[in-house]
Amino acid sequence: MTNATGKNLLFISMLGENEHFNPDHFRGLCSSGLEKDWIVEWFGQIAEDAGFRLSGVDICRGDGLPPIDNVDCVILGGTMHVVTEDRPWLHALYAWLPQYREAGKPLLGICGGHQLVSTQIQNGELKGRTEGTLAGTYEIELTKLGRAHPLFYGLRPNPRFNFANYLHVVPSETQQRHSLARIGDSSAICIDHGGHWYTTQFHPESRKQVWSCMYEQNEPEHIANYSDDQDGAVLIKNFLAIAAGE
């Protein structure tokens, strides 16, 4: 469904239920402290420039998923939960996403979104990283396919992105052939799933300030590992350009 500002881009937040995510710790990012709101504030203009109207839902806090006919493009955020948990909102998402894919519309899945799509909708495996938790801003290595991919257009040869994960996707043979990037023992941190569905283990939607809020209560030692010298915003712009058919 189109509107005065173009097509509808939906950001699906599944950052966490109250046991994991306290919005009060994130009010420095926006007045509500909710991810769906700071993402709209940060990326609303970028979306509009690409021809999209950006809105957000928080499925961990009771927001429903809209009818697929009302959505033209999706960014699926990360989560503090494990995507195999028995949660009503996860089951609703599992049911919604295949229908959305069948509609042939683009999607960018991030971190937990990458893990969910790659292992629950597709046929990869979810396993712990043998190198342990990866928390910080790091260079990635693009594959041959990744170096020529429009998702990484205009970026440095070894782009930098924010990471926060102890689990990763062990790709199927097909996923490995369509891997766009790797880091350390994680050989598929960005996958082209076909049909303009892309997923990233890293967080192109984030800024250093997010991680300061995330870790200051329990794991402040991670904060110094993050930097705003990273390429996330450009990757988001590239994804929206692909989604818009440019």
What pLDDT score was predicted for residue 1?
38
What pLDDT score was predicted for residue 3?
45
At 59, which CATH number?
3.40.50.880
Cβ(30)–Cβ(221) below 8 Å: no
The b-or-e profile of 157-196 (16+ CB within 10 A means b, else e) is eebbbbbbbebbbbbbeebeebbbbbbeebbbbbbbbeeb
> Which portions of the chain are predicted below pLDDT 50?
1-4
Give the residues across from 3 on adjacent strands: 6
What pLDDT score was predicted for residue 6?
79
What pLDDT score was predicted for residue 4?
45
pLDDT digits (tens, 9 = 90+) for 31-40: 999 999 999 9
pLDDT digits (tens, 9 = 90+) for 108-150: 999 999 999 999 999 999 999 999 999 999 999 999 999 999 9
What pLDDT score was predicted for residue 5?
53
What pLDDT score was predicted for residue 112?
98
Structural domain tally of the chain? 1
What pLDDT score was predicted for residue 246?
57
Distance of CA 56 to the CA centre of its chain: 13
What pLDDT score was predicted for residue 135?
98
User: Is 0.75 surpassed by the pTM of this model?
Assistant: yes
Residues spanned by the domain of 170:
2-244
